[in-house]
Amino acid sequence: MIVILHELRLDHHCVGIKSALEAKFPGIPVVLVDAGSVTIWPTAETWADVLVVPFDGGALPSNTHLFIQTVLTRKWAAFVLPVAVSAAKAPPAPVDYIKALPWENDGFARCCQRIGARLGLALRSRVHTLFISYRAVDGTGLATQFESFLKGEGYNVWRDDSKDAFDGETTIPPGDFVQREIETNLTNADMVLLLDTPKAWESSWINLEVGLANGNLIPVLPVLFRRPGEKVLCSRFRALDTLQRCVDFDLVGPDAPDHVDPADLQRVLHEMETYLCEIFQRRLRVPHGVARDFGALQYEWSQRDRFVYEAVRKSSGRVVVRVFSHCSFFDGIYDPALRAFVQHLRGLDPRANYALYVYDGTLIPPIQLREIERSAALANRAEVILLHHSEVLTVLTSNFTQRP
């Protein structure tokens, strides 16, 4: 639930934020609560709780302090976003230590994007951590700048500089200790910001990080620094070939800079938050539609784990059909996500009668689906059915005889 702390003098902004959020995230409850009387959160706690605190330089009502402190210290602490709706920059107590979102001409849209980005990070954990992956020999200055900038925007950032001593020797295979460190911090991360500098792709460490992120369905955003004449569209890392998403910079020489301009930092932030916001919107929309289609055919639908949704149809109390589905939050079919889903399926017990990889975006022609199946090394077409979310009901109605 998204709760907006409502003060009468800020009614225009509070109502506008509510309307914008409801349009952006249909299905997520958005409520206004009176700042002068609120004492408890309106519903049971969830991972998707957000508290928006519009302010204009005035103090919050005294009873609101206890409410906010309770929200911040509970088990499922809500993400709190102070929003400056005037020239005031510093939020009031007790949220004066939290980075505020300044109000600009597109304030309603900016507020939605920041909230959507934080909810996109929260899909995996409540830590909301960005992992910066970079090559020390040509990316340390950039990594330091991005870390400082993103922390200044209120994000938790993890950057590994303990491996710098090893990074000069790209032929050394990953050691157990460093590999465990990377795995631990990547497992806890919610997005990887990959500084794809000209020398980054030579690093065994960064290749390991990209592989671990893909295997754990952690979104990766490449920040590509392209040499003059270099024909790279998204990333130099082959594992990211089908991602089709990056922020690109054209270098004036062969080497990456130590820093980028403030406007370029904002461009990366905008793309990162847009990506995360789209992930959250897909996670709202696609599973909801697929669950509705299964329900129409009398299947019981539930989420089994973070990879898989399970649908079962019963007769006389016995399961007669079991279907595992992965509703991807990537645009289209992202090859590493498909491979991770297939690998995950092989460890599940009991096995399902059918497995579906449900994708969003543009409908992919059957001939391209066959090519994707071959590149993913599926054992056979029946192992996983690739289909657009709009095709699910047709496949179910045909009892899986009609497929894309």
Task: Report if residue 269 sits inside a domain.
Answer: no
- Structural domain of 22: 2-104
Residues 65 and 156 occupy one common structural domain = no
Question: Structurally, how many domains does the chain consist of?
Answer: 3
Task: Report if residue 122 sits inside a domain.
Answer: no
Task: Report if residue 230 sits inside a domain.
Answer: yes
Q: What pLDDT is recorded for position 402?
A: 87
Q: What pLDDT is recorded for position 48?
A: 83
Instruction: Kindly report the backbone phi and psi dihedral angles of residue 62, in degrees, each rounded to the nearest multiple of 5, phi listed first.
Output: -60, -40
Residues 236 and 153 occupy one common structural domain = yes
d(C-alpha 326, C-alpha 136), whole Å: 36
Task: Report if residue 277 sits inside a domain.
Answer: no
- Single residue among 104, 139, 163 that ends a domain in this structure: 104
Task: Report if residue 301 sits inside a domain.
Answer: yes
Task: Report if residue 199 sits inside a domain.
Answer: yes
d(C-alpha 235, C-alpha 101), whole Å: 31
Q: What pLDDT is recorded for position 170?
A: 37
Q: What pLDDT is recorded for position 179?
A: 66
Q: What pLDDT is recorded for position 381?
A: 56
d(C-alpha 19, C-alpha 24), whole Å: 9
- Single residue among 36, 69, 104 that ends a domain in this structure: 104
Residues 246 and 329 occupy one common structural domain = no
Task: Report if residue 294 sits inside a domain.
Answer: yes
- Is the distance from CB of 222 to CB of 233 less than 8 angstroms? no
Low-confidence ranges of the chain (pLDDT < 70): 125-127, 161-179, 379-382
164-174 tens-digit pLDDT: 444 544 334 45
Residues 150 and 193 occupy one common structural domain = yes
Q: What pLDDT is recorded for position 79?
A: 87
Bond from prior residue into 54 cis (ω within 30 degrees of 0): no
Residues 243 and 288 occupy one common structural domain = no
Task: Report if residue 95 sits inside a domain.
Answer: yes
- Single residue among 260, 275, 297 that ends a domain in this structure: 260
Strand-pair category, 129-133 with 156-159: parallel
Strand-pair category, 156-159 with 2-6: unpaired
Degrees to nearest 5, angle at CA 340 with 245 and 27: 65
204 to 18, 143, 195, 254: CA distances (angstroms): 47, 18, 15, 21
pTM of this structure: 0.88
The CATH number of whichever domain residue 298 belongs to comes to: 3.40.1340
354-364 tens-digit pLDDT: 999 999 989 99
Residues 71 and 14 occupy one common structural domain = yes
Residues 225 and 310 occupy one common structural domain = no
Residues 54 and 153 occupy one common structural domain = no
d(C-alpha 398, C-alpha 404), whole Å: 12
Say which DSSP state 127 is in.
Answer: S
Q: What pLDDT is recorded for position 165?
A: 45
**Which DSSP string do the residues of 338-384 spell out, in sequence order?**
HHHHHHHHTT-SSPPSEEEEEEESSPPPHHHHHHHHHHTT-SSTTT-
Residues 159 and 66 occupy one common structural domain = no
Give residues with Cβ within 8 angstroms of 117, minimum separation 6: 272, 273, 274, 276, 277, 280
Residues 185 and 247 occupy one common structural domain = yes
Residues 133 and 32 occupy one common structural domain = no
The CATH number of whichever domain residue 222 belongs to comes to: 3.40.50.10140
Residues 293 and 390 occupy one common structural domain = yes
Q: What pLDDT is recorded for position 164?
A: 47
